[in-house]
Amino acid sequence: MPIVKADRLTDIATQLLVVSGASKAEAACVAKGCVLANLTGHDSHGVIAIPTYIDRVHKGHIVPGAPFTVVQETATTTVVDGNWGFGFAVAERAMKLTIEKANKSNVAATTILRQSHVGRVGAYPIMAAKEGMIAIMTADSGRSPKAVAPFGGAEARVGTNPLAIAIPSNLAGAFCLDMATSSVAAGKINLAIAKGIKIPTGWIVDKNGNPTTDPNDFKNGGVLLPLGGDEGHKGYGLSAMIEILSAILPGLGFGVDPTGRHNDGCFVACFKVEAFRPLETFKKEVTEFAHYLKATKPQKGVKEVLYPGEVEWMKEQDRSKNGIEVDEKTWKQFHDIAKKHGIEDKIKV
C-alpha cells in the first residue's frame, strides 16, 4: 500500500476534486478534512471517501459552487441551507459563523440542512474549543439511506448519528469526544471491505438478523447495531435524540428519500467559557482532570488510561511524521479518475 505524506495526499485529493468539478477552495477544504481524518486515525472518513464524493458530483447529488444561504437568523441562532454543497465546506463555514455569534453573545446555535457528508464531526467543535468555547455538534443522515437498526429492530431506521463535544484545555491534543452512536461508524465497515479483513462480532447482523464477521454482509442487506451491545437501548436513545436535533429541527424530516441522495443534517452549539468561568482557570482544571483520569491504575492488559481525543492526537503525531497508508482499492480509484482526466503525472508519489 502506498504511504503518502499528509501534504502530498492533500494536494492529490485536491487535484482529483478540482478536475471533477469542485472549485479550488471547496476541493482544498474537502481534501484537508479527509486527510485530517486519516492523520487522526479515522481512515474510514479519510481519502477513501474522495471517489464517492466525486461520484456524487457526477450524479448531481453534490453541487459544486452551491450558495451558502442563511434561511433564518437572530443574534444567537442561524439556520443554514447548504444547497447541496460539499458538507466539509458548508459545515466549516457554519461553524465559523456560530463561533462569531457566540463570541459576541456567549452562546450560539446553528442548524444546517441540504449539504453532503461532513466527514469527521469532531473537527468542527475543535475549531470552537481553540477559540475558548465548549462546542457540541451532532449529525444525522437526513433522509438519505439508513444503516442502523433501532434497539430490538431488524431493519435500519436511523443513521450512524454521530455526536462530538470539544472542550478547551492546555493539553497537547484536543479534549474531544467524537463518536458514532452505532456500534461503529459505517465507514469502518467499508474500510474492512476495502482492506479485505473481517470485522468483530457485534458490529452488524446480516439480512436475516444473524451475527456475522463478514463486512460484505452489510452491503447485502445487513444492518448496523446501535452502540451498547446488550445495553443498546442507550445508544439507540442517543441516536433518536440526535436525529431530532439534526434532521427534524433543521427541517429535513425523517425517513428515506427515494433518490438516495446523501445528506448530513447538523446541529451545532457553542458556549463561551468566559461567560461561566475565567477561561484560563477552566482550561487549567480540565487539563488537571485529564491528568487525573490518565493516572488511573490500568486494568490487566491495558497499557494506559487515555482522555477522550488522545488516541487521535497520538495517531496524528505518528502519521504526520511517518505518512498515511492509502489502501490499494482507493489508490486504484485515484488512478482511474486521474487517467480519465489525463492528470496521472500529477498524482505521482
Ligand X SMILES: NC(=O)c1ccc[n+]([C@@H]2O[C@H](COP(=O)([O-])OP(=O)(O)OC[C@H]3O[C@@H](n4cnc5c(N)ncnc54)[C@H](O)[C@@H]3O)[C@@H](O)[C@H]2O)c1
98/160 with CB nearer ligand X: 160
Q: How far is the CB of 292 from ligand X (least distance, A)?
A: 14
Q: Give the separation between CA 76 and CA 30, rounded to whole angstroms.
A: 27
Residues near ligand X, by CB under 6 A: 42, 45, 117-122, 139, 160, 162, 164, 176-180, 184-185, 188, 264, 306, 308-309, 311-312
Residues 141/263, Cβ–Cβ less than 8 Å: yes
Q: Give the separation between CA 128 and CA 286, rounded to whole angstroms.
A: 16
34/205 with CB nearer ligand X: 34
HEC string of the chain equals: CCEECHHHHHHHHHHHHHHCCCCHHHHHHHHHHHHHHHHCCCHHHCHHHHHHHHHHHHHCCCCCCCCCEEEEECCCEEEEEEEEECHHHHHHHHHHHHHHHHHHHCEEEEEEEEECCCCCCCHHHHHHHCCCEEEEEEECCCCCCCCECCCCCCCCCECCCCEEEEECCCCCCCEEEEECCECCCHHHHHHHHHHCCCCCCCCEECCCCCECCCCHHHHCCCEECECCHHHHHHHHHHHHHHHHHHHHCCCCCCCCCCCCCCCCCEEEEEEEHHHCCCHHHHHHHHHHHHHHHHCCCCCCCCCCCCCCCHHHHHHHHHHHHHCEECCHHHHHHHHHHHHHCCCHHHHCC
42/157 with CB nearer ligand X: 42
Task: Report which residue type is found at 255.
Answer: G
15/98 with CB nearer ligand X: 98
118/133 with CB nearer ligand X: 118
Q: How far is the CB of 140 from ligand X (least distance, A)?
A: 8
250/308 with CB nearer ligand X: 308
122/215 with CB nearer ligand X: 122
99/164 with CB nearer ligand X: 164
Q: How far is the CB of 319 from ligand X (least distance, A)?
A: 15
